[in-house]
Amino acid sequence: MRINDRKLLTQLAELGVELRPATKLSEWTSLGIGGTTDLLRISNHESIPGLLQLLDENQIPHKFLGGGSNLLVEDGELPWVVLQLVPPQPDVVLEGHLAHVDAAGDLGRTVTFCAKHDLGGMEGLIGVPGTVGGALRMNAGAYGMQIGTYVREVKLYRAATRQIETLRGHQISFEYRHTSFAPDDMMLAVILELPSKPYNEILKGIRICNEKRRSSQPLGQKSAGCIFKNPPGASAGRMIDELGLKGLSVGDARVSDRHANFFVNTGHASAKDMLALIADVRERVQKGYGVGLENEVVVWNA
Ligand code: EPU
């Protein structure tokens, strides 16, 4: 979708919003898949209510992009524009046990920064790509921990009230890869309350998680992490592996040989290829195990 209206372009500039026309989302997603649209980059949280009102008035649909690391975007010309936060500098400020983090901050760098100041708890998340906002929305977790545990406060734009609001941790429910945020809420910033731990000890935990991840996940390849959620008490990766589906491909979309719940883009896979592979694997697991797998990856299609 293209924004061409001169008046609107002026209004966006007045709000301090940077327009990057005809952006290929394949360059902004870890899968390397996704069509083209205008990207609106936001440097100032306070401009968001005004921006969304303008888009509404001009009947321009929109979506929020975080780090693009858990996302499958459809091909071709996209029927909505994409909004993205630009991280401020610095994007993490510490105050005792509290880390004030901008949602656009990189998750891995945040974990490392806190670790260097003897604040731990999030070691398991070190290899998880993406932004803090994306991790928060999905309640990202690994190796027995999840980010929700440490959330004290979240600043967000609430689509329902069209305002920037602050929620306390206890007002938000964090479940396995699910939170009580509405789909069109936009994460802006979070305060994490982290336990004290000596840097050396945190580093040991980080090294162990890194090693486990390196040995079991296809880290150097284009992927969106795990494609399916684990059903209660079972492992999607193990089921897909046991059905002998590693290496199964549609075009350049392929079930990883290393971890069967990672689907990789080995070249120029399209969203159509990846969606066909997801549907095929889901059907085979349904037939083989009687289990309906749910997507863990977020899919943007019309
Ligand atoms: N397994 C296989 N074959 C495979 C993959 C896994 O047999 O191809 C077996 C493993 O041997 C293990 C079991 O399945 O016994 C579970 O595998 P793993 O430890 O790799 O964990 P997972 O359940 O597949 C979850 C998260 C990951 C997270 C890891 C580590 C989900 C959907 N996935 O994977 O998160 O990194 O645990 O904690 O919850 C993600 O969210 O994108 C993601 C990758």
CATH number at 234 reads 3.90.78.10
Count of domains for the chain: 3
pLDDT exceeds 80 at position 23:
yes
CA 220 remoteness from chain centre: 18
Entry pTM: 0.96
What digits encode the pLDDT tens for the residues 117-141? 999 999 999 999 999 999 999 999 9
* DSSP H helices in 100-259: 107-116, 132-138, 199-216, 236-242
Structure-token pair, residue 21 = 């026309």
Say how many C-beta atoms besides its own lie within 10 A of residue 162's C-beta.
12
- Residue 165 is part of a domain; what is its CATH number? 3.30.465.10
| Domain enclosing residue 120, as ranges | 92-200
Mean pLDDT of 216-226: 97
pLDDT exceeds 80 at position 302:
no
Mean pLDDT of 177-188: 95
Q: How far apart are the CA of 262 and the centre of ligand 1, in A?
A: 9
Among 217, 248, 261, 263, which residue has the most ligand 1 atoms within 8 Å of its CB, making it the best to mutate? 261
Domain shared by 122 and 80, yes or no: no
Residue 82 has a pLDDT of 98
Mean pLDDT of 260-281: 98
Q: How far apart are the CA of 225 and the centre of ligand 1, in A?
A: 10
- Phi, psi angle pair for 121, to nearest 5°: 105, -30
Confidence of residue 254 (pLDDT cuts 50, 70, 90): very high
Residue 114 has a pLDDT of 97
Domain contains 192? yes
Tell me the C-alpha distance between 61 and 80, whole Å: 5
Place of tokens 């037939």: 287
What digits encode the pLDDT tens for the residues 57-93? 999 999 999 999 999 999 999 999 999 999 999 999 9
The answer to whether 158 touches 83, Cβ cutoff 8 Å, is: no
Helix axes 48-57, 6-14, angle to 10 degrees: 170
Domain shared by 167 and 100, yes or no: yes
The answer to whether 152 touches 130, Cβ cutoff 8 Å, is: no
